[in-house]
Amino acid sequence: MTGFGPNLEDFEPGDLVRHGRGKTLTPVETTTLTHLSMNTSDGHFDAHRYSQTAWGGTMVFGGITAAVVIGLSMEDTGAAAIRELGVRDVRLCAPVADGDTLYAYSEVVSIEPRDDRSGEVVFRHTGVNQRDEVVFTCERRVLVRRRGAG
Amino acid sequence: MSDLGDARRLVRGYRYADFTPGRRFDHATRRTVDRSDSLLFSATTLSLCPLYFDAEAARADGHPDVVVNPYLVLALVVGLSVEDLSEHSEAFLGIGEAQFARDVYPGDTLRAESLVESRRASASRPGFGIVTWQTTGLNQREEVVLRLSRANLFEVPR
Which residues contact residue A91 at a Cβ distance below 8 angstroms, ignoring those fewer than 6 apart? Answer: A136, A137, A138, B93, B94
Domain assignment present for A30? no
Mean of all residue pLDDT scores within chain A: 95
What number is the ipTM of this complex?
A: 0.96
Interface mutation vs chain B, best among A26, A41, A123, most B CBs within 10 Å: A41
pTM greater than 0.95: yes
CATH code, domain with B73: 3.10.129.10
- A2 has pLDDT over 70: no
What CATH number should be reported for the domain holding residue A123?
A: 3.10.129.10
Is B97–A66 a contact, with Cβ atoms under 8 angstroms apart? no
- B66, B58 contact by CB (below 8 A): yes
Domain of residue B86, residue span: 16-155
Distance from CA of B1 to the nearest CA of A (A): 26
**A67/B47 touch (CB, cutoff 8 Å), yes or no:** yes
In terms of phi and psi (left: phi > 0; alpha: psi -120 to 50; beta: otherwise), the region of A79 is alpha
The pLDDT tens digits of the residues spanning B119-144 come to 999 999 999 999 999 999 999 999 99
Which residue does chain A place closest to B29, by CA atoms?
Answer: A38
Phi, psi of A51 (to 5 degrees): -70, -20
Q: Looking at the domain assignment, is residue A32 inside a domain?
A: no
Domains identified in chain A, total number: 1
For a pLDDT cut of 70, what percent of chain A falls above it? 98
Cross-chain Cβ contact B97/A62 below 8 Å: no
**Residue-level pLDDT at A1:** 43
Domain that holds residue A137: 8-25+59-145
Give B9's pLDDT tier (boundaries 50, 70, 90).
very high
Residue A13 has pLDDT above 70, yes or no: yes
Q: Classify residue B73: in a domain, yes or no.
A: yes
Nearest of A96, A95, A90, A94 to residue A125 by alpha carbon:
A90
State whether B49 and A79 contact (CB < 8 Å).
yes
What digits encode the pLDDT tens for the residues A83-129?
Answer: 999 999 999 999 999 999 999 999 999 999 999 999 999 999 999 99
pLDDT of residue A3: 64
From the CA of A64, how many Å to the nearest CA of chain B? Answer: 7
